[in-house]
Amino acid sequence: MEDLARMVADSLARHGFVAALDHRRLEWSRWFRCESSFSLLLVPSAAGLYALGEEVIAPGELPSASGKRLLAVFQVSETEDLCVALSRLFAPRNPLSARLSSGNCFVRFALVADPKQRQVACESLNRWLTSSTEIATGFGKEFGKDFAVATDVSQQLEVAAPSAANRVAAREEDPPSKPPSLPAGF
């Protein structure tokens, strides 16, 4: 099926039609441990997207996970140079440096050369990440003034939970919903 989609996209490109990038069909690398800048030796010096995740459950820790690890994605970003951007995460003054050096973080990337397509895909994945966070925590958009999540690497992650009365009221109003599914291939 993917070959058919690729053939159609190639045919459209040959005839002058520009097909929009489908962020659900990006070719992501495998997740790899992100312990130091030396773990990034195989990251290409090319434009693309990258996602950072932290290990929540180690392999074999939970019998129902069939021996697989569970990662929580906490950042999706775009860059002109994946190698440089990921290496900068380990700079001493970077707020993520200590977190990444702990050995519990993983990274994966997708090559996207076109800046506009890269920006659109990154925005889409960040919207997915935000909506997943809202559903998982129970803090919806009505609590936007009570907590802030930094999307820039240079900012610290700051989360202040709303009062207990607000949390109870919000859970009584909204029926529980399941989190949105991950984009295909992510």
Q: Domain limits of the chain?
A: 25-137
One-letter amino acid for residue 78 of the chain = E
Q: What is the pLDDT of residues 62-93, one digit of tens each?
A: 777 777 888 889 999 999 999 999 999 999 89
Rounded CA separation 60/98 (Å): 26
For domain 25-137, give the fold.
GIY-YIG endonuclease (3.40.1440)
Residues with Cβ within 8 Å of 144's Cβ and at least 6 positions away in sequence, in order, are: none
Residue 19 has pLDDT above 90, yes or no: no
Q: State how far the Cα of 43 lies from the Cα of 74, in Å rounded to an integer.
A: 20
Instruction: Out of 20-34, 53-67, 105-119, 166-180, give the one with best mean pLDDT.
Output: 105-119
The rounded Cα 26 to chain-centroid distance in angstroms is: 13
Spatial separation of the C-alpha atoms in residues 117 and 184, rounded to whole Å:
17
Q: Is the pLDDT of residue 119 over 90?
A: yes
User: For residues 158 and 99, what is the distance between their CA atoms, to the nearest angstrom?
Assistant: 14
Q: Look over the chain and give the mean of its residue pLDDT values, rounded to a whole number.
A: 74
The pLDDT of 113-136, averaged and rounded, is 88
The secondary structure of residue 118, as a DSSP letter, is H
Q: How confident is the model at residue 158 (pLDDT cuts 50, 70, 90)?
A: very low
> 15 versus 128: which is more confidently predicted?
128
The band of 185, judged by pLDDT with boundaries at 50, 70 and 90, is low
For the record, the structure tokens of 174 come out as 């909204």
Give the pairing of strands 32-33 and 48-57.
unpaired
Assess whether pLDDT exceeds 80 at residue 154. Answer: no
